[in-house]
């Protein structure tokens, strides 16, 4: 009965995930060529002032001086925003926390600053939070949300989802605000301009952005949390998930892009090279490694927990599978399978399902692991589900869960 209940829960989870389809990028300003050209819809932006091109999340981004630097996209944007969409970007703030004025990140409004059919995304220094507002008319907000920036990070990743009746804001993979009562009939004005770094509505209560913005994207539908996690490049963060290894084994710790050579690992015990951004860890006991990156005016802090298990002390109901893997042929974490298969007397089935409920892998052989390929093609980054039925100690067990495929 317990196995049947777990199976039904898994089926319901698969069916719910199947309702969401893969989103497509319809606007992609990478800034990698040090220009403002969108590489998908070929919408060219205007550089105002003299924003400098610097190391950023992926390649280069633009640094804004907080005085007269900005980027404006005047044509083609409204067609992308008047349907379901997700807007995402990375930002690195160089702002005085005592500043009493809100800081403009991204705005869509007309040049006359009437707050008519507009979108504003601003940083609030005093509370380390983001305010997102969508206005239908002056002083009339269809949606107004505030979400605190989670984690201790210099780079932050923001995703704004809008569909017919809901608006959501994610920061660093965390849902920080949601408005479930959005007006599905609302449309932005055709005359609007997408402004990055400075709104045309700067006043005594707001200021221009000072810092770096990179990888501004618009998708043709909202992004579910699983896709947000996959899309996030995690600058200055630890990419490797918390994981479990056996005593005597090692794990490669991977981190996101770092634009400074100043970083530190603590503790350093068990690391093969504490001066490496991506060291190999071989702890003899469960250890949490902290990774700090220092930019002088800002510092990021992240951690990863590596649990060490003694094979002789494992129980039948403690089946271990990783919560992520990276089949990119770098000989690190390239296959997905059961970690502590030594507790299994007989493997009945090991199955992996896509979001849409399609079985992408199945085996009854304990030594067989999945390489991330389905029907001869590499599976794109996504969240998948597993179901393992096995015998141990004369009893049958069923283990289910999810994991992320990262490339």
149 in the same domain as 34 = yes
- Amino acid 10: pLDDT: 46
Last residue of a domain, one of 270, 287, 313: 313
3-state secondary structure of 284: coil
What CA–CA distance (Å, rounded) separates 319 from 316? Answer: 7
Cross-strand partners of 404? 324, 383
3-state secondary structure of 7: helix
- What DSSP string runs through 378-407? EPPSEEEEEEEEEEETTEEEEEEEEEEE--
Please state the φ and ψ torsions of residue 300, each to the nearest 5 degrees: -105, 150
The b/e string for 224-252 (b: 16+ C-beta within 10 A; e otherwise) is bbbbbbbbbbbbbbbbbbebbbeeeeebe
244 in the same domain as 374 = no
Which structural domain, as residue segments, surrounds residue 278? 234-313
Please state the φ and ψ torsions of residue 228, each to the nearest 5 degrees: -60, -45
What CA–CA distance (Å, rounded) separates 102 from 72? Answer: 20
The answer to the question of residue 381 being in a domain is: yes
Strands 206-207 and 102-109, by their bridges, are parallel
Cross-strand partners of 44? 37
Query: Is the backbone peptide bond immediately before 293 cis, with ω within 30 degrees of 0?
Result: no
CATH code: domain of residue 374: 2.60.40
Cross-strand partners of 361? 352
Last residue of a domain, one of 287, 313, 339: 313
CA terminus-to-terminus distance, the chain? 38
201 in the same domain as 80 = yes
3-state secondary structure of 182: coil
- Amino acid 18: pLDDT: 41
341 in the same domain as 306 = no
Mean pLDDT of successive 10-residue stretches along the chain, which has 407 residues = 41 42 88 95 94 95 94 91 94 74 88 70 91 76 87 93 91 91 79 86 78 96 87 91 85 92 94 96 95 90 88 81 81 83 93 93 95 92 94 94 88
- Amino acid 19: pLDDT: 40
The answer to the question of residue 228 being in a domain is: no
Work out how many domains the chain is built from and give that number. 3
Strands 395-405 and 324-325, by their bridges, are parallel
289 in the same domain as 330 = no
What CA–CA distance (Å, rounded) separates 98 from 186? Answer: 36
The answer to the question of residue 57 being in a domain is: yes
CA angle 290, 237, 207 (to 5 degrees): 120
205 in the same domain as 304 = no
Sign of CA dihedral 145, 151, 155, 160: negative
Cα-based distances in Å from 180 to 165, 220, 403: 6, 20, 28
195 in the same domain as 145 = yes
Residue 70 has, within 13 A of its CA and on its CB side, a CA count of 24
338 in the same domain as 321 = yes
122 in the same domain as 198 = yes
CATH code: domain of residue 199: 2.60.120.200
- Amino acid 113: pLDDT: 62
The b/e string for 316-330 (b: 16+ C-beta within 10 A; e otherwise) is eeebbbbebbbbeee
Contact 139, 115 (CB under 8 A): yes
Contact 40, 73 (CB under 8 A): no
- Amino acid 95: pLDDT: 63
What CA–CA distance (Å, rounded) separates 107 from 72? Answer: 10
Contact 159, 169 (CB under 8 A): yes
326 in the same domain as 188 = no
217 in the same domain as 143 = yes
- Amino acid 9: pLDDT: 42
- Amino acid 112: pLDDT: 61
Contact 342, 327 (CB under 8 A): no
């Amino acid at each position: 009965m317990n196995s049947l209940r777990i199976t039904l829960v898994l089926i319901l989870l698969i069916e719910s995930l199947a309702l969401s389809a893969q989103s497509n990028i319809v606007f992609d300003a990478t800034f990698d060529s040090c220009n403002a050209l969108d590489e998908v819809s070929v919408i060219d932006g205007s550089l105002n002032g003299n924003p400098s091109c610097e190391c950023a999340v992926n390649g280069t981004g633009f640094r804004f001086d907080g005085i007269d630097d900005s980027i404006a996209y005047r044509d083609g944007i409204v067609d992308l925003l008047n349907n379901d969409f997700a807007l995402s970007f990375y930002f690195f703030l160089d702002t005085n926390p005592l500043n009493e004025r809100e800081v403009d990140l991204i705005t869509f409004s007309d040049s006359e600053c009437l707050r008519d059919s507009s979108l504003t995304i601003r940083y609030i220094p005093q509370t380390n939070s983001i305010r997102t507002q969508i206005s239908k008319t002056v002083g009339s907000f269809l949606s107004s949300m505030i979400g605190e920036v989670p984690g201790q990070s210099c780079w932050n990743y923001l995703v704004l989802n809008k569909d017919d009746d809901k608006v959501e804001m994610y920061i660093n993979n965390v849902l920080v605000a949601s408005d479930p009562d959005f007006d599905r009939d609302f449309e932005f004005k055709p005359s609007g301009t997408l402004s990055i770094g400075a709104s045309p509505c700067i006043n005594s209560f707001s200021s221009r952005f000072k810092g770096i913005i990179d990888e501004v994207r618009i998708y043709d539908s909202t992004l579910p949390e699983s896709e947000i996690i996959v899309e996030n490049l995690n600058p200055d963060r630890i990419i490797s998930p918390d994981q479990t290894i056996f005593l005597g084994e090692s794990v490669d710790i991977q981190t996101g892009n770092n634009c400074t050579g100043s970083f530190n690992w603590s503790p350093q015990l068990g690391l093969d090279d504490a001066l490496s951004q991506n060291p190999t860890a071989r702890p003899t006991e469960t250890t949490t490694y902290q990774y700090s990156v220092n930019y002088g005016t800002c510092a990021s802090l992240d951690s990863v927990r590596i649990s060490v298990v003694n094979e002789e002390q494992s129980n039948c109901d403690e089946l271990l599978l990783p919560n992520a893997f990276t089949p990119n042929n770098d000989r690190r974490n390239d296959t997905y399978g059961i970690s502590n298969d030594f507790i299994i007397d007989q493997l009945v089935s090991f199955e992996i399902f896509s979001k849409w409920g399609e079985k992408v892998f199945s085996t009854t052989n304990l030594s067989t692991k999945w390489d991330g390929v389905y029907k001869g093609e590499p599976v794109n980054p996504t969240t998948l589900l597993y179901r393992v039925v096995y015998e141990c100690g004369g009893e049958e067990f069923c283990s289910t869960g999810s994991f992320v495929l990262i490339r």
